[in-house]
Amino acid sequence: MISRALDTWGAFEFFKDRTLMVRENGKKTVCLVPSGFEAMAPMHPYIMGLAIGDLKKQFVPSMAGADLFARSGNRNEFYITVNENAEKLILYGRDVMGESILEASDMLGENELVIILNSRLEAIGIGRTRFAGRSLLQKGRITVTTLMDAGYYLREEG
Amino acid sequence: MKATTAHPSRSSGFRALADNINEKRAQCSKLTRIFAESAESTDLASRYGYDRWLVGRFLEYVPNVKDFMDEMERPPTKYIRVNTLKTTSEDLESRLCSKGFDLKRTVIPEVLAVKKAPMTTGATNEYLLGHYYIQDLSSCMAVDALDVSEAQAVLDVAAAPGGKTTFMAQRMKNTGSIIALEPSEKRARSMSFNLARCGVYNTCILKIDGLHAERLQRKFDRVLLDAPCSCEGVIAKDLTRKTSHTPQDVDYCSNRQDKLIDAAARMVKPGGILVYSTCSFAPEENEMVVDTLLKKFDNIEVEPLQYGSTGLTQFGDAVFDGQLKNTCRLYPHLHDTTGFFIARLRVS
């Protein structure tokens, strides 16, 4: 499931020679760790490496994972790009209006997980589509639900 | 009044006070030194709102105390550290300047001084995306002194909230490994957010007290101990600290720091480096801690540093190993940083 997910997000090449571990603590979290860190597992670390996503019915990336996937450079149809105004709103946890989407693949279906990028192609959130294809761009409606955004770090920490 | 003996001291009339508490202090070389009040210390303490015992001590070792205390009344310069795991200094400067920030380069290449900010420094998209970390220049100097490089094994003994850890990780280009110790659940959680925001994946947080670092059963190329301290150095950020701590607090911190540095030193590989740092001005938390360590271990040398003022080689009745001049003191009025102390120790 992990390999399929990495391929889905266009990040397989980036991760192929790296070490991933699954941490089970009520949920299954996939962590990118340096090689040799497996030896730390018996010490029950609080955090090991970087949590890139959770394994549920499907792989759901974390914000940190989304950032790595976006940087891996192989952005495919599961990414949408939004304008600056939407970026500000998304970073406060707001959803995405159709008219703020600069780029979205026609091949996207309804209820798909997408990584939300700003105009500089940096990951700012993770969302789920409410419509398919060109309908994502319709004006006056929320077309993507924001599940998580980069502002989450400060809200959770605070 | 009872006179203590005679090592030359900066104030010509060093005297321990004659009551029982200070007699005990004089007998125990590690207890916090208290100096007799003078007209100057009383005046400065009253004028700036400090406890008198604290000002009396400042007069013994801080250069230009009046300038020092004036500077502590001003908001300190804010610094940001570019996270090179996600961006470059040039790109970040360009983005923030276009938003109205005025930034200035510093002696540490990744660190920028914020001369003007049109908004709270932590309110930008770039901050949320992990492009920079708000961190004082002094703190970054401690990491610079550690001289980490790629593929090394590094131990951060008192790691939270993770400013120095994330700086080490970026200098290591996310390679090698960093073991970060933090026994507090709350602080470890806060640190985990910082690591994630900065995209750090070469770090593991263990909820272990640094005093028990030997449980790791391995040694490291580099060990950083940014020790819990009385935080005198951040009075300018939190003015309640002028009166919120006591000599007993300094005693407590110093005692704990002795134990921590001992534990940390044992974790360094031969040829490796230990950096000890605090954000305190107190010699009992700084030079005395290092001096005590040097007396215990004959295979540790204090290496010189390129910034700040030299460390003290004596304080009151205490005379320290000559190598302590290689340590570094940072003062707000001289170096435009929060108060800080750094010692770089090479284990042979």
CA angle A63, A64, A70 (to 5 degrees): 85
Check which CATH number belongs to the domain holding B176 and give it.
3.40.50.150
Answer yes or no: are the C-beta atoms of B53 and B242 closer than 8 Å: no
Q: Is the pLDDT of residue B23 over 90?
A: no
- Tell me which of B134, B149, B172 is where a domain ends: B134
d(CA B222, CA B228): 19
d(CA B198, CA B84): 9
> B96 lies in a domain?
yes
Q: Is the pLDDT of residue B13 over 90?
A: no
| pLDDT-based confidence at residue B26 (cuts at 50, 70, 90) | very low
pLDDT tens digits for B238-260? 999 999 989 999 999 999 999 99
Q: What percent of chain B has pLDDT over 70?
A: 91
In chain B, what residues touch A118 (CB-CB under 8 Å)? 125
Establish if B195 touches chain A: CB-CB under 8 angstroms.
yes
> B23 lies in a domain?
no
Q: Is the pLDDT of residue B117 over 70?
A: yes
Q: Which of A153, A154, A155 should one mutate to test binding to chain B, selecting the residue with the greatest count of B CBs within 10 A?
A: A153
The answer to whether B125 contacts A91, with C-beta atoms less than 8 Å apart, is yes
Count of domains observed in chain B = 2
Establish if B91 touches chain A: CB-CB under 8 angstroms.
no
| pLDDT-based confidence at residue B2 (cuts at 50, 70, 90) | very low
**Which residues are CB-contacts of B290 (< 8 A; sequence separation ≥ 6)?**
B261, B276, B302, B311, B320, B324, B327, B343, B345
Q: Are residues B155 and B296 in the same domain?
A: yes
> B126 lies in a domain?
yes
> B218 lies in a domain?
yes
| pLDDT-based confidence at residue B29 (cuts at 50, 70, 90) | low
pLDDT tens digits for B304-339? 999 999 999 999 999 999 999 999 999 999 999 999
Q: How far is B19 from chain A (nearest CA, A)?
A: 47
List of chain A residues with pLDDT < 70: 73, 157-158
Residue B286 is classified by DSSP as T
Question: For A91, which of B128, B177, B179 is closest by C-beta distance?
Answer: B128
Answer yes or no: are the C-beta atoms of A68 and A52 closer than 8 Å: yes
**Which residues are CB-contacts of B20 (< 8 A; sequence separation ≥ 6)?**
none
Model's pTM, two decimal places? 0.91
What per-residue confidence (pLDDT) applies to A158?
53
Considering only alpha carbons, which residue of chain A is nearest residue B215?
A43
What per-residue confidence (pLDDT) applies to A73?
67
The answer to whether A33 contacts B188, with C-beta atoms less than 8 Å apart, is no
In chain A, what residues touch B215 (CB-CB under 8 Å)? 43
pLDDT tens digits for B184-229? 999 999 999 999 999 999 999 999 999 999 999 999 999 999 999 9
What per-residue confidence (pLDDT) applies to B326?
98
> B26 lies in a domain?
no
- Tell me which of B118, B134, B150 is where a domain ends: B134
Q: Are residues B234 and B206 in the same domain?
A: yes
Question: What is the number of other CB atoms lying within 10 angstroms of the CB of residue A14?
Answer: 17
Q: Are residues B145 and B161 in the same domain?
A: yes
d(CA A132, CA B43): 74
Question: For B177, which of A34, A43, A64 is closest by C-beta distance?
Answer: A34
Q: Is the pLDDT of residue B4 over 50?
A: no
Q: Are residues B162 and B147 in the same domain?
A: yes
Q: Are residues B98 and B205 in the same domain?
A: no
Q: Are residues B197 and B130 in the same domain?
A: no
Q: Are residues B261 and B118 in the same domain?
A: no
Q: Are residues B83 and B224 in the same domain?
A: no
The answer to whether A45 contacts B125, with C-beta atoms less than 8 Å apart, is no
- Tell me which of B113, B134, B155 is where a domain ends: B134
Rounded to the nearest integer, the mean pLDDT of chain B is 91
**Which residues are CB-contacts of B335 (< 8 A; sequence separation ≥ 6)?**
B138, B307, B308, B309
Q: Which domains does chain A have, with CATH numbers?
A: 2-71 (no CATH), 79-157 (2.30.130.10)
What per-residue confidence (pLDDT) applies to B259?
97
In chain A, what residues touch B129 (CB-CB under 8 Å)? 67, 122, 124, 150
Question: For A51, which of B190, B196, B216 is closest by C-beta distance?
Answer: B196
> B310 lies in a domain?
yes
Establish if B188 touches chain A: CB-CB under 8 angstroms.
yes
What per-residue confidence (pLDDT) applies to B299?
97
Backbone phi and psi for residue A48, each to the nearest 5 degrees, phi listed first: -130, 110
pLDDT tens digits for A94-114? 999 999 999 999 999 999 999
> B10 lies in a domain?
no
Does B97 qualify as catalytic in the annotation? no
Check which CATH number belongs to the domain holding B98 and give it.
3.30.70.1170
Q: Are residues B250 and B294 in the same domain?
A: yes
Q: Are residues B179 and B115 in the same domain?
A: no
Q: Are residues B197 and B320 in the same domain?
A: yes
SS3 state of residue A35: coil
In chain B, what residues touch A32 (CB-CB under 8 Å)? 201
Question: For B177, which of A36, A47, A67 is closest by C-beta distance?
Answer: A36
Considering only alpha carbons, which residue of chain A is nearest residue B182?
A46
> B65 lies in a domain?
no
Q: How far is A67 from chain B (nearest CA, A)?
A: 8
Which domain covers residue B116, as residue numbers? 78-134
What per-residue confidence (pLDDT) applies to B279?
97
Joined tokens for residue B180: 């970060």
Q: Are residues B228 and B246 in the same domain?
A: yes
What per-residue confidence (pLDDT) applies to A26?
86
The active-site residue out of B140, B229, B279, B328 is B279
